[in-house]
Amino acid sequence: MNSYRDLANTTLDQKKFLDECIFIVKEQSFYMKQAVENGSLRDTLKHASNMLCELRTSQLSPKYYYELYMLIFNELQHLDTFISDKKKHKKRFIDIYESVQHAGNIIPRLYLLIIVGRNYIKNKDIKAKYILKDMTELCKGIQHPLRGLFLRYFLIQMCKDRIPDTGSEYEEAGGGNIDDAFEFLLSNFYESIKLWSRMSDKVHIKLAPGQDEQVMHNNRNKVLREKMDVKMLVGSNLVRMSQLEGMTRQYYIEKCLPKLLQNLSTINDSLIQQYIFESIVQVFSDECHIYTLDILLNAILKTNSSLDFKGILITLLKRLRFFIESNKYEVPKEVDIFSLFYEHLVLYVNRTLDSYERAKGSYRSSFQQEGQTFPARDTVVEYYKGEEEKKKKAVSTCGTTTTTSTNVITTNNVTTMGTHHINENDLVPNCKIVKSVDAKSNPAEEKRTMKEASYYGGATHQGNNNKASNYGNLPRGTQGCYSNEKNNQENDEDDEFVEDIVKMLQVIYEFIFLCIRIYDDVITISKLFDLPYTIACNVNLNNDVLCEQIINIIVLPFNYLGISALKGKNMQALLRSITSQKHKKKLSLDIIDAIIDCKNKAIVYKDVEEILNYISPIFNEDVKRKTDPTDNSHQRETHQADFFNLENSTITYAAKKMCKFFHIITNTHDIDERYNICILFYKHIENGPYLVHLLPTIVFTMLDLVMTITNLAPSSGTKTLSQHDEPFEKKEHPDEELNDEHIRDEHTHGENTYDDLNLLSSNLGDRTTHIGVFPGNRADDPYLEDKIKQYNIYVKNILKFIHTNLLCVSSQIPMLALKLFLYSAVVVNNYDRFVQAHEFLSFENLEAICYEFITQPLIIYEEDINISSQQYNCIIWITGILCSHITLLQNENYENIALKLTQHANKLLKKKDQCLGILACSHIYWENKKYRNSAKVLECLQKCIRNAEIAVQSNNDNVVLFLFLLQKYVYYYEAQNIEVTEDSVHYLLHICQEEYSRESCDANFKKEFLQTVKYIHDKKNSSNAFAKIGLDVSVLR
Please tell me the distance from the alpha carbon of residue 482 to that of residue 979, in angstroms, as a whole number: 103
Q: Looking at residue 86, what is its pLDDT?
A: 84
Q: How many CB atoms within 10 Å of residue 579?
A: 11
DSSP character at residue 1027:
T
Q: Which of 820, 949, 946, 839 is closest to 878 using CA atoms?
A: 820
Q: Looking at residue 941, what is its pLDDT?
A: 94
CB neighbour list of residue 129: distance below 8 Å, 6 or more residues apart: 164, 175, 176, 180, 184
Q: Which of 89, 198, 192 is closest to 149 using CA atoms?
A: 192
CA distances from 947 to 121, 200, 911, 956 (A): 105, 97, 6, 13
CB neighbour list of residue 658: distance below 8 Å, 6 or more residues apart: 592, 619, 690, 693, 694
pLDDT digits (tens, 9 = 90+) for 458-489: 333 333 333 333 333 333 343 444 344 444 44
DSSP character at residue 253:
I
Please tell me the distance from the alpha carbon of residue 991 to that of residue 1005, in angstroms, as a whole number: 12
Residue 602's SS3 state is coil
Please tell me the distance from the alpha carbon of residue 30 to that of residue 43, in angstroms, as a whole number: 12
Q: Looking at residue 483, what is its pLDDT?
A: 44
Please tell me the distance from the alpha carbon of residue 244 to that of residue 167, in angstroms, as a whole number: 10
Q: Which of 844, 820, 823 is closest to 832 using CA atoms?
A: 844
Length of the chain: 1037
Please tell me the distance from the alpha carbon of residue 149 to that of residue 227, in angstroms, as a whole number: 11
Q: What angle do CA 887, 893, 897 make, to 5 degrees?
A: 95
Q: Looking at residue 387, what is its pLDDT?
A: 36
Query: Which residues on adjacent β-strands are paired with residue 415?
Result: 410
Q: Looking at residue 191, what is its pLDDT?
A: 95
The answer to whether the beta carbons of residues 861 and 904 sit under 8 Å apart is yes
pLDDT digits (tens, 9 = 90+) for 981-1033: 899 999 999 999 888 888 888 889 999 999 999 999 888 888 887 888 888 87
Q: Looking at residue 493, what is its pLDDT?
A: 52
CB neighbour list of residue 943: distance below 8 Å, 6 or more residues apart: 906, 918
Please tell me the distance from the alpha carbon of residue 39 to that of residue 655, in angstroms, as a whole number: 82
The answer to whether the beta carbons of residues 245 and 168 sit under 8 Å apart is yes
Q: Which of 968, 872, 969 is closest to 911 using CA atoms?
A: 872
Q: Which of 884, 951, 888 is closest to 916 using CA atoms?
A: 951
Please tell me the distance from the alpha carbon of residue 299 to that of residue 295, in angstroms, as a whole number: 6
Q: Which residues of the chain have pLDDT under 50?
A: 1-11, 202-207, 360-490, 624-641, 646, 648, 715-718, 720-778
Please tell me the distance from the alpha carbon of residue 334 to that of residue 328, in angstroms, as a whole number: 18
Please tell me the distance from the alpha carbon of residue 528 to that of residue 977, in angstroms, as a whole number: 76
Neighbouring C-alpha atoms within 13 Å toward the C-beta of 480? 2
Q: What stretches of 568-604 show up as alpha helix (H) in DSSP?
A: 571-576, 581-597
